[in-house]
Amino acid sequence: MPPPPTPHASSPGHDGVSVTGSGSSGDAHGTTAVVGMVGGGQLARMTQRAAIDLGIRLEVLALGADEPAVLAGAVSHIGGPDDLAALRGLAEAVEVVTLDHELVNAGHLAALVAAGHRVHPGPDALRFAQDKLHARTRLAALGFPVPAFRSVANAADVTAFAAVHAWPVVLKARTGGYDGRGVEVVGDADAAASVLARGGGWLVEALVPIATEVSVVTARRPGGAHVTYPVVETVQDQGICVELVMPARVPPAVASRATDLAEAIAEAIGAVGILAVELFVTAPGEVVVNEVATRPHNSGHATIEGSVTSQFTNHLRAVLDWPLGDTAMRAPVAATVNLLGGSVPTDLADRLPRALVDGRVHVHLYGKEPRPGRKIGHVTVLGDDAEHALAAARRAADLLVSPEEAPT
């Protein structure tokens, strides 16, 4: 029989470091570590699932008690990501602070670091995910391949850029964009002017002739040790990622180039935790960096069932500076289809049993109210080939959210 746990004992620690104080992890419930996450969305919810298995207590800074991670049992601190007092409250309760989204005030994170808190990713790495102009400028300066780009203040700047790189061009909001919001393909100066009239900072990019979009998910510890998952193929519809296939159906040379780029970026920006790097692959096999996310990422969702260790488990292990888990796949292929809320409200409770008739289907529902275009869950199917796995995942997704498949 193991001895009973001692309240307030030092944790067994990581790499021999004991942790005590208000963020102390050892307690009567056998908690191994206490991790704080800013944001309580679906990424925090899936991190909570992973935390449970490792005896980690996840505490989240959430906007309300109805956020997906709080519904899944994460300890909640209620507050916004720009509220320094709330961030301090979270940091003081935990051993390490991490993030479920990018919309966190980097200056506040720097204040937490200055006060001695562990914050992963740190504010410098986070800026690469927050500000597309900063990311493009720094990655280009570091020698990484990125699309031609420049900062623009007005339509004349866009026209000057297009004179060199040809219309149409891509306008991107520097900050705040996601799921294609803040990304506009424009074909002339008038279209550019109306996008810029929305205000905020913009950059313009050359339109890359994309053959395939891929993502590389890597997990990195503070000292640089890392593991990387097989390259994932991502399919976007109107800027929203709708499907994933792991491993990507690209030549080995392309996969290894993408992997090398992602690992080099993780090292260059000092990322800790999961880093996802989205890349464009052109028909001749050129690989260009699109954007980086310094947190668990939609493109890594197939790792939950498809990999020996999920991205969420490896994120926790990385930010705690624990040994990382195997990223090998459990099946030849994993296919994931995102569930997007439609214009018609759907009753998931009625639909779910029909989707589950196919026993290969793994359904993840995020506990979010369905709204048009909003990611409310995903479905993963493992298999021997991409087409069959995708077909099964699409069928299940249709049964769950398509208006045509509504139960009669």
Q: Please report, as ranges, the residues that interact with ligand ATP according to CB under 6 A.
A: 147, 170, 172, 177-183, 205, 207-208, 210, 213, 236, 239, 278, 290-291
Do residues 283 and 294 touch, judged by C-beta distance below 8 A? Answer: no
Nearer to ligand ATP, 234 or 310 (CB): 234
Spatial separation of the C-alpha atoms in residues 41 and 43, rounded to whole Å: 6
Query: Which of ligand ATP, Mg ion, none interacts with 144 (beta carbon under 5 to 8 A by kind)?
Result: none
CB of 213 to Mg ion, least distance (A): 8
Q: CA dist 68 to 42, 74, 139, 215, 361, Å?
A: 6, 9, 34, 25, 22
Kindly state the smallest distance separating residue 165's Cβ from ligand ATP, in Å.
10
* Nearest-approach distance from CB 170 to ligand ATP, in angstroms: 4
Instruction: Identify what 306 binds: Mg ion, ligand ATP, none; CB under 5 to 8 Å per kind.
Output: none
**Closest distance to ligand ATP from the beta carbon of 69 (Å):** 19
User: x/- string (CB under 5 A) for Mg ion, residues 257-286?
Assistant: ---------------------x--------
Report in angstroms how near the CB of residue 81 gets to ligand ATP at its nearest.
16
Nearer to ligand ATP, 59 or 184 (CB): 184
Q: For 35, list phi and psi in degrees, rounded to 5.
A: -115, 135
Interface positions, 48-107, toward Mg ion (CB under 5 A): none
Angle at alpha carbon of residue 127, lines to 262 and 232, rounded to 5°: 30
Please choose which of Mg ion, ligand ATP, none residue 259 contacts, taking the beta carbon within 5 to 8 angstroms, the exact cut-off set by kind: none
Q: Which tokens is 77 given?
A: 């601190």
CB of 205 to ligand ATP, least distance (A): 4
Which of Mg ion, ligand ATP, none lies near 13, with the C-beta cut-off 5 to 8 A by kind? Answer: none
Complex with ligand ATP: residue 58 or 171, whichever CB lies closer: 171
Question: What, of ligand ATP, Mg ion, none, does residue 54 touch, CB below 5 to 8 Å by kind?
Answer: none
Contacted entry of ligand ATP, Mg ion, none for residue 391, CB cut-off 5 to 8 Å set by kind: none
Site residues (vs Mg ion, CB under 5 A)? 278
